[in-house]
Structure 1
Amino acid sequence: SALTVSVNLHPKNWFNNVFWEWLPSQIAELKLSAKLQFEISEVEFFTHRESITNALNIIKKSRSQVVIDNVKSSEKIAVLANYNQVCGLKLSYELIHLLNEKTQNQRQIKKIVEAANLLNLPVYAVGVETQKELFTLAKLGVVGAQGFYFSEPLQEFTQAVFN
């Protein structure tokens, strides 16, 4: 399939060297090169970016990518210019929830989109619940969204088997 699979890793896995030693062979064996993107929260990324250098290098070598999740501000986005494995930003639910009643959140989203545009990074929204929120996000420059407005949550996979 030409689809990209987004994997939201538990924060501990970003520091698990055994996992990162195992992953490249799995990516190669399953022919997943350039089809995976790994999500990491904004806080985890910026707090631990030096500690996850090995993981980021493996992601880069496998031609996979990183999405910064739960983005709440534009303050550190410029730093991402040094990380070409980062392919996009996902806004925090707190910024999206009740967006139309919170003009401060709208201003914050606009700043995030402007900073991301300087790096050619798309910005996505999570937790979109109404058409009005979707239209507001589009006006602010957000390029994609997910949430109850589109679909109820899918059942979680409790175990994935690839063989």
Structure 2
Amino acid sequence: MAKFVITHEIKCNKEQFWKLFWDKAFIEKMYREELGYRAYEIREQSETERKVDLAPNWSLPGPMRSRFSLSEEGELTRGSGIWRWRATPSILADKIRLDGTMRLEPISSTSVRRIGDLQVEATVPIVDLLLESSFETRLRAEWSRTASYMSKHLSMK
């Protein structure tokens, strides 16, 4: 199992971050245009929960590549400000686990630190470490790109 922490500074306060995080049009555009996902569809969204289906263009081994998609569910605990999520893959759902939490720490009145505690676990004989490493690499890259994209978007307002 791979456990790792991803930290980025985003140029906004907590309120601005959460407003953008819940903006359906912005999030879909970020996933489709910035991250290059083949699909991103919000199935359900409330003030504290979101369920989405997404199809990333990740570099994965062999037959997984073209048919791979994820179903993600997340919930924000308002009191603690912690977003908890879990993504279930379309392939090997019983053998691959992707989940984590995200929280914000204020740096200043115009910046927050987004902290993600993530876990990737694959229980597929022979390729488990390769899958975990591949998922970790992709998640790190995508979290970095989303932080830059959000900061850039907010600076244009």
Higher helix proportion: 1
Larger-gyration structure (1/2): 1
Higher relative contact order (CA 8 A, sep 6+): 2
TM-score by length of 2: 0.27
